[in-house]
Chain A
Amino acid sequence: MSWLDDLSLELYARGVPRRERARIAIELSDHIACEPGCEERLGDPRELANSFADELATSEARGSAFVSFAALAVAAVVLVISQITLARFAGYPGYSNGISTLLFFPAILGMVVAPQVALVAGTLGAWRALRRRRVTSMPAEEIGLIHRRTRVALAAGLATMAGLELYVIDFSERLPAWWLGLAGGLAAVAGICLFAATRTLGRARAIVSGAQGQAGDIYDDLPLLGWSTLRTRPWLLGALASLTVGLALGGFEAHAEHSVFEGIQRGMFEGVVAAVGFVVLGRAIGARPAQQSIKRGTPGPE
Protein backbone atom coordinates (compact mmCIF):
# COMPACT_ATOMS: atom_id res chain seq x y z
CA MET A 1 0.00 0.00 0.00
CA SER A 2 1.42 3.41 -0.96
CA TRP A 3 1.95 6.39 1.34
CA LEU A 4 -0.94 8.18 -0.37
CA ASP A 5 -3.25 5.18 0.12
CA ASP A 6 -2.36 5.12 3.82
CA LEU A 7 -3.12 8.82 4.10
CA SER A 8 -6.46 8.46 2.28
CA LEU A 9 -7.50 5.63 4.62
CA GLU A 10 -6.51 7.60 7.72
CA LEU A 11 -8.42 10.66 6.50
CA TYR A 12 -11.47 8.49 5.77
CA ALA A 13 -11.27 6.92 9.23
CA ARG A 14 -11.36 10.40 10.77
CA GLY A 15 -14.45 11.41 8.82
CA VAL A 16 -12.75 14.05 6.68
CA PRO A 17 -15.30 14.81 3.91
CA ARG A 18 -14.79 13.23 0.50
CA ARG A 19 -14.20 16.54 -1.29
CA GLU A 20 -11.51 17.55 1.19
CA ARG A 21 -9.90 14.09 0.94
CA ALA A 22 -9.79 14.31 -2.85
CA ARG A 23 -8.16 17.74 -2.71
CA ILE A 24 -5.54 16.58 -0.20
CA ALA A 25 -4.77 13.51 -2.33
CA ILE A 26 -4.28 15.62 -5.49
CA GLU A 27 -2.06 18.15 -3.69
CA LEU A 28 0.14 15.51 -2.12
CA SER A 29 0.39 13.38 -5.23
CA ASP A 30 1.58 16.52 -7.05
CA HIS A 31 4.11 17.06 -4.25
CA ILE A 32 5.40 13.49 -4.64
CA ALA A 33 5.50 13.85 -8.43
CA CYS A 34 7.69 16.96 -8.05
CA GLU A 35 10.25 14.95 -6.11
CA PRO A 36 9.74 11.19 -6.38
CA GLY A 37 10.71 9.28 -3.25
CA CYS A 38 10.04 12.17 -0.84
CA GLU A 39 7.22 10.33 0.99
CA GLU A 40 9.30 9.78 4.10
CA ARG A 41 9.94 13.51 4.46
CA LEU A 42 6.20 14.21 4.23
CA GLY A 43 5.81 12.58 7.64
CA ASP A 44 3.70 9.81 9.13
CA PRO A 45 0.37 9.55 7.24
CA ARG A 46 -1.49 8.99 10.52
CA GLU A 47 -0.05 12.12 12.14
CA LEU A 48 -0.76 14.17 9.03
CA ALA A 49 -4.35 12.87 8.89
CA ASN A 50 -4.73 13.73 12.60
CA SER A 51 -3.53 17.23 11.90
CA PHE A 52 -6.01 17.72 9.05
CA ALA A 53 -8.90 16.19 11.04
CA ASP A 54 -8.19 18.07 14.30
CA GLU A 55 -8.04 21.45 12.58
CA LEU A 56 -11.03 20.76 10.36
CA ALA A 57 -13.10 19.46 13.29
CA THR A 58 -12.28 22.62 15.25
CA SER A 59 -13.17 24.92 12.39
CA GLU A 60 -16.41 23.07 11.56
CA ALA A 61 -17.51 22.96 15.21
CA ARG A 62 -17.10 26.72 15.47
CA GLY A 63 -18.85 27.23 12.14
CA SER A 64 -21.82 25.07 13.07
CA ALA A 65 -22.18 26.86 16.43
CA PHE A 66 -22.30 30.24 14.67
CA VAL A 67 -24.66 29.05 11.92
CA SER A 68 -26.97 27.52 14.54
CA PHE A 69 -26.92 30.72 16.59
CA ALA A 70 -27.94 32.68 13.48
CA ALA A 71 -30.78 30.23 12.75
CA LEU A 72 -31.91 30.49 16.38
CA ALA A 73 -31.88 34.28 16.08
CA VAL A 74 -34.26 33.98 13.11
CA ALA A 75 -36.53 31.72 15.20
CA ALA A 76 -36.40 34.22 18.09
CA VAL A 77 -37.45 37.09 15.80
CA VAL A 78 -40.31 34.95 14.45
CA LEU A 79 -41.51 34.16 17.97
CA VAL A 80 -41.37 37.83 19.02
CA ILE A 81 -43.21 39.01 15.87
CA SER A 82 -45.91 36.38 16.33
CA GLN A 83 -46.44 37.31 19.99
CA ILE A 84 -46.44 41.09 19.44
CA THR A 85 -48.89 40.89 16.55
CA LEU A 86 -51.04 38.45 18.52
CA ALA A 87 -51.16 40.69 21.58
CA ARG A 88 -51.60 44.00 19.74
CA PHE A 89 -53.76 43.20 16.73
CA ALA A 90 -55.33 39.76 16.99
CA GLY A 91 -55.85 39.34 20.74
CA TYR A 92 -55.13 36.29 22.89
CA PRO A 93 -57.98 33.84 22.41
CA GLY A 94 -57.86 32.13 25.84
CA TYR A 95 -56.69 28.55 26.17
CA SER A 96 -60.15 26.95 26.34
CA ASN A 97 -61.20 28.38 22.97
CA GLY A 98 -58.91 26.23 20.86
CA ILE A 99 -59.60 22.97 19.08
CA SER A 100 -58.11 20.80 21.83
CA THR A 101 -56.08 21.10 25.01
CA LEU A 102 -54.02 18.22 23.60
CA LEU A 103 -52.75 20.76 21.10
CA PHE A 104 -52.64 23.71 23.48
CA PHE A 105 -50.38 22.34 26.21
CA PRO A 106 -47.59 21.04 23.96
CA ALA A 107 -47.85 24.30 22.02
CA ILE A 108 -47.40 26.40 25.16
CA LEU A 109 -44.58 24.21 26.44
CA GLY A 110 -42.87 24.64 23.08
CA MET A 111 -43.39 28.42 23.01
CA VAL A 112 -42.54 29.13 26.66
CA VAL A 113 -40.00 26.54 27.84
CA ALA A 114 -38.12 25.55 24.69
CA PRO A 115 -37.02 29.12 23.78
CA GLN A 116 -35.31 29.46 27.15
CA VAL A 117 -33.40 26.22 26.65
CA ALA A 118 -32.48 27.32 23.12
CA LEU A 119 -31.30 30.71 24.36
CA VAL A 120 -29.07 29.27 27.10
CA ALA A 121 -27.63 26.36 25.08
CA GLY A 122 -27.24 28.34 21.85
CA THR A 123 -25.57 31.27 23.59
CA LEU A 124 -23.19 29.01 25.52
CA GLY A 125 -22.28 27.13 22.33
CA ALA A 126 -21.67 30.27 20.28
CA TRP A 127 -19.84 31.96 23.17
CA ARG A 128 -17.41 29.04 23.54
CA ALA A 129 -16.84 29.04 19.78
CA LEU A 130 -16.22 32.79 19.83
CA ARG A 131 -13.93 32.59 22.84
CA ARG A 132 -11.83 29.92 21.12
CA ARG A 133 -11.87 31.50 17.66
CA ARG A 134 -8.08 31.78 17.42
CA VAL A 135 -7.38 28.22 18.52
CA THR A 136 -6.16 26.03 15.67
CA SER A 137 -7.01 22.71 17.23
CA MET A 138 -9.39 22.31 20.17
CA PRO A 139 -9.44 19.15 22.32
CA ALA A 140 -11.92 16.53 21.11
CA GLU A 141 -13.82 16.81 24.40
CA GLU A 142 -14.26 20.53 23.95
CA ILE A 143 -15.46 20.07 20.38
CA GLY A 144 -17.93 17.52 21.76
CA LEU A 145 -19.19 20.08 24.29
CA ILE A 146 -19.78 22.69 21.57
CA HIS A 147 -21.63 20.06 19.52
CA ARG A 148 -23.81 19.07 22.49
CA ARG A 149 -24.71 22.68 23.25
CA THR A 150 -25.51 23.31 19.60
CA ARG A 151 -27.58 20.13 19.32
CA VAL A 152 -29.63 20.94 22.43
CA ALA A 153 -30.17 24.51 21.20
CA LEU A 154 -31.31 23.40 17.75
CA ALA A 155 -33.67 20.76 19.19
CA ALA A 156 -35.17 23.40 21.48
CA GLY A 157 -35.42 25.88 18.59
CA LEU A 158 -37.25 23.31 16.47
CA ALA A 159 -39.54 22.52 19.43
CA THR A 160 -40.32 26.25 19.72
CA MET A 161 -41.31 26.53 16.07
CA ALA A 162 -43.31 23.28 16.31
CA GLY A 163 -45.08 24.78 19.33
CA LEU A 164 -45.97 27.89 17.36
CA GLU A 165 -47.34 25.77 14.50
CA LEU A 166 -49.43 23.76 17.00
CA TYR A 167 -50.73 27.03 18.43
CA VAL A 168 -51.75 28.16 14.92
CA ILE A 169 -53.56 24.87 14.34
CA ASP A 170 -55.24 24.94 17.76
CA PHE A 171 -56.69 28.41 17.21
CA SER A 172 -57.26 28.15 13.47
CA GLU A 173 -61.00 28.66 13.99
CA ARG A 174 -60.59 31.60 16.39
CA LEU A 175 -57.74 33.81 15.22
CA PRO A 176 -57.77 35.97 12.08
CA ALA A 177 -56.54 34.35 8.88
CA TRP A 178 -53.82 36.99 8.38
CA TRP A 179 -52.24 36.15 11.74
CA LEU A 180 -52.50 32.41 11.15
CA GLY A 181 -50.79 32.84 7.77
CA LEU A 182 -48.12 35.18 9.17
CA ALA A 183 -47.25 33.07 12.20
CA GLY A 184 -47.52 29.72 10.40
CA GLY A 185 -45.48 30.94 7.42
CA LEU A 186 -42.74 32.57 9.49
CA ALA A 187 -42.49 29.51 11.76
CA ALA A 188 -42.06 27.32 8.68
CA VAL A 189 -39.28 29.59 7.35
CA ALA A 190 -37.50 29.56 10.72
CA GLY A 191 -37.95 25.77 10.88
CA ILE A 192 -36.22 25.43 7.51
CA CYS A 193 -33.32 27.62 8.76
CA LEU A 194 -33.00 25.47 11.88
CA PHE A 195 -33.14 22.28 9.84
CA ALA A 196 -30.38 23.60 7.56
CA ALA A 197 -28.31 24.33 10.69
CA THR A 198 -28.80 20.72 11.86
CA ARG A 199 -27.28 19.57 8.55
CA THR A 200 -24.24 21.80 9.20
CA LEU A 201 -23.96 20.33 12.68
CA GLY A 202 -24.24 16.80 11.28
CA ARG A 203 -21.35 17.44 8.88
CA ALA A 204 -19.25 18.89 11.69
CA ARG A 205 -19.95 15.94 14.02
CA ALA A 206 -18.84 13.46 11.37
CA ILE A 207 -15.22 14.66 11.65
CA VAL A 208 -13.32 12.86 14.38
CA SER A 209 -10.77 14.85 16.33
CA GLY A 210 -8.24 13.05 18.50
CA ALA A 211 -6.73 16.11 20.19
CA GLN A 212 -6.22 15.61 23.91
CA GLY A 213 -7.38 18.01 26.60
CA GLN A 214 -10.32 18.95 28.79
CA ALA A 215 -13.66 20.26 27.61
CA GLY A 216 -14.09 22.82 30.35
CA ASP A 217 -17.51 23.94 31.53
CA ILE A 218 -19.67 26.99 32.20
CA TYR A 219 -17.21 28.20 34.83
CA ASP A 220 -14.58 28.62 32.14
CA ASP A 221 -17.05 30.39 29.87
CA LEU A 222 -18.24 32.88 32.46
CA PRO A 223 -15.38 33.58 34.84
CA LEU A 224 -17.32 35.56 37.43
CA LEU A 225 -16.40 36.39 40.98
CA GLY A 226 -17.09 33.54 43.37
CA TRP A 227 -17.41 31.00 40.57
CA SER A 228 -14.74 28.76 42.07
CA THR A 229 -16.96 28.30 45.15
CA LEU A 230 -19.90 27.19 43.03
CA ARG A 231 -17.77 24.84 40.94
CA THR A 232 -17.59 22.42 43.84
CA ARG A 233 -21.31 22.92 44.67
CA PRO A 234 -23.14 22.51 41.35
CA TRP A 235 -26.55 22.11 43.00
CA LEU A 236 -26.20 25.51 44.64
CA LEU A 237 -25.69 27.00 41.18
CA GLY A 238 -28.82 25.18 39.96
CA ALA A 239 -30.83 26.51 42.90
CA LEU A 240 -29.57 30.07 42.41
CA ALA A 241 -30.25 29.97 38.67
CA SER A 242 -33.79 28.62 39.18
CA LEU A 243 -34.51 31.22 41.85
CA THR A 244 -33.24 34.03 39.64
CA VAL A 245 -35.30 32.88 36.65
CA GLY A 246 -38.40 32.42 38.81
CA LEU A 247 -38.09 35.85 40.44
CA ALA A 248 -37.32 37.66 37.18
CA LEU A 249 -40.12 36.15 35.11
CA GLY A 250 -42.57 36.13 38.03
CA GLY A 251 -41.90 39.83 38.57
CA PHE A 252 -42.32 40.52 34.86
CA GLU A 253 -45.65 38.66 34.78
CA ALA A 254 -46.93 40.40 37.92
CA HIS A 255 -46.07 43.78 36.40
CA ALA A 256 -47.52 42.98 32.97
CA GLU A 257 -50.77 41.48 34.28
CA HIS A 258 -51.08 43.76 37.36
CA SER A 259 -51.59 40.61 39.42
CA VAL A 260 -49.33 39.38 42.21
CA PHE A 261 -51.05 35.99 42.12
CA GLU A 262 -50.33 35.47 38.42
CA GLY A 263 -46.77 36.63 39.04
CA ILE A 264 -46.27 34.02 41.76
CA GLN A 265 -47.82 31.32 39.56
CA ARG A 266 -45.56 32.17 36.62
CA GLY A 267 -42.52 32.57 38.84
CA MET A 268 -42.99 29.14 40.42
CA PHE A 269 -43.56 27.52 37.03
CA GLU A 270 -40.46 29.10 35.50
CA GLY A 271 -38.35 28.29 38.56
CA VAL A 272 -39.37 24.63 38.49
CA VAL A 273 -38.75 24.44 34.73
CA ALA A 274 -35.29 25.99 35.15
CA ALA A 275 -34.47 23.48 37.90
CA VAL A 276 -35.65 20.55 35.75
CA GLY A 277 -33.65 21.93 32.81
CA PHE A 278 -30.54 22.16 35.00
CA VAL A 279 -30.94 18.54 36.14
CA VAL A 280 -31.76 17.10 32.71
CA LEU A 281 -29.52 19.14 30.42
CA GLY A 282 -26.96 20.68 32.77
CA ARG A 283 -24.17 18.21 32.22
CA ALA A 284 -24.85 17.85 28.50
CA ILE A 285 -24.29 21.55 27.87
CA GLY A 286 -21.55 22.00 30.45
CA ALA A 287 -23.73 24.04 32.81
CA ARG A 288 -23.06 21.39 35.43
CA PRO A 289 -19.36 20.61 35.62
CA ALA A 290 -18.12 17.20 34.59
CA GLN A 291 -17.56 14.82 37.51
CA GLN A 292 -13.81 14.85 37.03
CA SER A 293 -13.68 18.65 37.23
CA ILE A 294 -15.51 18.59 40.55
CA LYS A 295 -13.04 16.12 41.97
CA ARG A 296 -9.99 17.92 40.72
CA GLY A 297 -11.41 21.39 40.99
CA THR A 298 -9.21 22.27 38.04
CA PRO A 299 -10.13 24.76 35.39
CA GLY A 300 -10.66 23.79 31.77
CA PRO A 301 -9.30 25.58 28.73
CA GLU A 302 -8.47 29.27 28.86
Chain B
Amino acid sequence: MKSDTLNGQLDPLILATVADEPAHGYAILQRLKERSGGAFDLAEGTIYPALHRLERDGLLSSAWSTESGRRRRVYSVTRAGTSALKVRRREWKQFSQAVAAVIG
Protein backbone atom coordinates (compact mmCIF):
# COMPACT_ATOMS: atom_id res chain seq x y z
CA MET B 1 0.00 0.00 0.00
CA LYS B 2 1.59 3.29 -1.12
CA SER B 3 2.00 6.23 1.23
CA ASP B 4 -0.54 8.39 -0.64
CA THR B 5 -3.19 5.76 0.14
CA LEU B 6 -2.40 6.39 3.79
CA ASN B 7 -3.10 10.12 3.49
CA GLY B 8 -4.91 11.23 6.62
CA GLN B 9 -4.60 7.81 8.24
CA LEU B 10 -1.00 7.97 9.43
CA ASP B 11 -1.83 9.92 12.61
CA PRO B 12 -4.38 7.41 14.01
CA LEU B 13 -2.11 4.53 12.98
CA ILE B 14 0.74 6.04 14.99
CA LEU B 15 -1.53 6.81 17.94
CA ALA B 16 -2.86 3.24 17.94
CA THR B 17 0.67 1.86 17.76
CA VAL B 18 1.99 3.97 20.62
CA ALA B 19 -1.17 3.55 22.73
CA ASP B 20 -0.17 0.04 23.85
CA GLU B 21 3.31 0.91 24.98
CA PRO B 22 5.64 3.94 24.72
CA ALA B 23 8.13 3.53 21.88
CA HIS B 24 10.82 5.35 19.85
CA GLY B 25 10.54 6.09 16.13
CA TYR B 26 12.14 2.93 14.79
CA ALA B 27 10.13 0.70 17.14
CA ILE B 28 6.90 2.43 16.12
CA LEU B 29 7.70 1.76 12.48
CA GLN B 30 8.46 -1.91 13.16
CA ARG B 31 5.19 -2.34 15.03
CA LEU B 32 3.32 -0.69 12.17
CA LYS B 33 4.90 -3.12 9.71
CA GLU B 34 4.24 -6.16 11.92
CA ARG B 35 0.62 -5.32 12.61
CA SER B 36 -0.15 -4.52 8.99
CA GLY B 37 1.63 -7.61 7.72
CA GLY B 38 4.04 -5.35 5.83
CA ALA B 39 1.20 -3.76 3.85
CA PHE B 40 2.31 -0.16 4.38
CA ASP B 41 5.06 0.84 2.00
CA LEU B 42 5.76 4.35 3.22
CA ALA B 43 9.07 6.25 3.24
CA GLU B 44 10.21 5.47 6.77
CA GLY B 45 11.26 9.06 7.44
CA THR B 46 7.68 10.30 7.06
CA ILE B 47 6.70 9.10 10.52
CA TYR B 48 9.06 11.60 12.19
CA PRO B 49 7.31 14.80 11.01
CA ALA B 50 4.05 13.10 12.01
CA LEU B 51 5.41 12.27 15.47
CA HIS B 52 6.57 15.87 15.96
CA ARG B 53 3.22 17.22 14.78
CA LEU B 54 1.26 14.92 17.09
CA GLU B 55 3.41 16.08 19.96
CA ARG B 56 2.87 19.76 19.07
CA ASP B 57 -0.87 19.05 18.99
CA GLY B 58 -0.67 17.57 22.49
CA LEU B 59 -1.66 14.05 21.41
CA LEU B 60 1.75 12.55 22.14
CA SER B 61 4.38 13.38 24.72
CA SER B 62 8.04 12.41 24.52
CA ALA B 63 11.15 12.14 26.62
CA TRP B 64 14.80 11.31 26.05
CA SER B 65 16.13 7.92 27.11
CA THR B 66 19.47 6.21 26.62
CA GLU B 67 19.85 2.73 25.12
CA SER B 68 23.25 1.13 24.47
CA GLY B 69 24.86 4.55 24.88
CA ARG B 70 22.55 6.10 22.23
CA ARG B 71 20.03 8.83 22.96
CA ARG B 72 16.56 8.23 21.65
CA ARG B 73 13.21 9.96 21.91
CA VAL B 74 10.48 7.78 23.39
CA TYR B 75 6.87 8.70 22.65
CA SER B 76 3.76 7.98 24.68
CA VAL B 77 0.10 8.85 24.18
CA THR B 78 -1.39 11.66 26.27
CA ARG B 79 -4.93 11.73 27.63
CA ALA B 80 -5.95 13.96 24.73
CA GLY B 81 -4.32 11.46 22.36
CA THR B 82 -6.31 8.58 23.86
CA SER B 83 -9.55 10.54 23.39
CA ALA B 84 -8.61 11.46 19.83
CA LEU B 85 -7.83 7.82 19.07
CA LYS B 86 -11.25 6.73 20.35
CA VAL B 87 -12.92 9.23 18.04
CA ARG B 88 -10.80 8.16 15.05
CA ARG B 89 -11.54 4.47 15.73
CA ARG B 90 -15.25 5.14 15.79
CA GLU B 91 -15.07 7.21 12.58
CA TRP B 92 -12.99 4.53 10.87
CA LYS B 93 -15.44 1.77 11.81
CA GLN B 94 -18.35 3.77 10.40
CA PHE B 95 -16.39 4.60 7.27
CA SER B 96 -15.11 1.07 6.62
CA GLN B 97 -18.56 -0.45 7.25
CA ALA B 98 -20.10 2.01 4.81
CA VAL B 99 -17.46 1.28 2.16
CA ALA B 100 -17.79 -2.46 2.68
CA ALA B 101 -21.56 -2.21 2.33
CA VAL B 102 -21.14 -0.52 -1.05
CA ILE B 103 -18.15 -2.37 -2.45
CA GLY B 104 -19.09 -5.68 -0.95
B-contacting residues of A (Cβ < 8 Å)? 20, 23-24, 26-31, 33-35, 38, 41-44, 47-48, 51-52, 55-56, 59, 136
CB distance from B71 to the nearest CB of A (A): 5
Q: Give A105 Cβ to nearest chain B Cβ, in Å.
A: 46
Tally the A-B contacts, defined by beta carbons under 8 Å.
59
B70 touches A48 (CB 8 A): no
Extra contacts, 8 of them, besides A30-B71, A52-B52, A55-B53 (Cβ < 8 A), are: A20-B52, A26-B71, A26-B72, A27-B72, A43-B43, A48-B49, A55-B49, A136-B53
Asked if B95 lies at the interface with its beta carbon under 8 angstroms from chain A, I say no
Beta-carbon nearest neighbor of A24 in chain B: B48
Q: Is the pair B49, A51 in contact by a Cβ cutoff of 8 Å?
A: yes
- B26 A43 Cβ-Cβ under 8 A: no
Given A30-B25, A34-B26, A59-B56, residue A41 in contact with residue B44 (CB < 8 A) = yes
With contacts A30-B24, A30-B26, A31-B25 taken as known, whether A48 is within 8 angstroms of B46 at the C-beta atoms is yes
Contact B44 A31 (CB under 8 A): yes
Is B45 located at the chain interface by the 8 A CB criterion?
Answer: yes
Docked complex Cα distance between A269 and B48 (Å): 55
Report if B86 contacts A (CB, 8 A): no
- In the complex, the answer to whether B43 meets A41 with C-beta atoms within 8 Å is yes
- Residues of B contacting A: mostly: helix
Given contacts A41-B43, A42-B43, contact A30 B48 (CB under 8 A): no
Chain A residues with CB below 8 A from B45, complex form: 28, 42-43, 48
**B89 at interface (Cβ–Cβ under 8 A)?**
no
Alpha-carbon distance A48/B52, docked complex (angstroms): 13
Give Cα distance in the complex from A38 to B70, angstroms: 17
Q: Chain A CB within 10 Å — which of B24, B43, B49, B71 has the most? A: B49
CB of B79 closer than 8 Å to a CB of A: no
Nearest chain B CB to A45 CB, angstrom units: 8
Summarize A's interface: helix, strand, loop or mixed. helix
B residues in contact (CB < 8 Å) with A: 24-26, 29, 43-46, 48-49, 52-53, 56, 70-73
CB distance A43 to B70 under 8 Å?
A: no
Kindly list chain A residues whose C-beta atoms are within 8 Å of the C-beta of B43.
41-44, 47-48
Given contacts A34-B26, A41-B43, A55-B53, A28 and B48 within 8 Å (CB-CB): yes
List of A residues within 8 angstroms of B29 by Cβ: 31
Inter-subunit contact B46/A23 (CB<8 Å): no
A38: chain B residues at CB < 8 Å are 44
Q: Which residues of B contact A56 (CB under 8 A)?
A: 52
Q: Which residues of A contact B73 (CB under 8 A)?
A: 23, 26-27, 30
CB distance from B84 to the nearest CB of A (A): 12
| Inter-subunit contact A42/B44 (CB<8 Å) | yes
The 6 A-B residue pairs with the shortest CB-CB distance, nearest first, are A43-B43, A42-B45, A34-B26, A43-B45, A48-B45, A51-B49
Max chain A Cβ within 10 angstroms of own Cβ: one of B24, B52, B71: B52
Residues of chain B contacted by A20 (CB below 8 angstroms): 52
Cα A119 to Cα B45 in complex, Å, equals: 42
Set of chain B residues within 8 Å of A27, measured between Cβ atoms: 24-25, 48, 72-73
Q: Are B72 and A30 in contact (CB under 8 A)?
A: yes
**In the bound complex, how far is the Cα of B52 from the Cα of A90, in angstroms?**
53
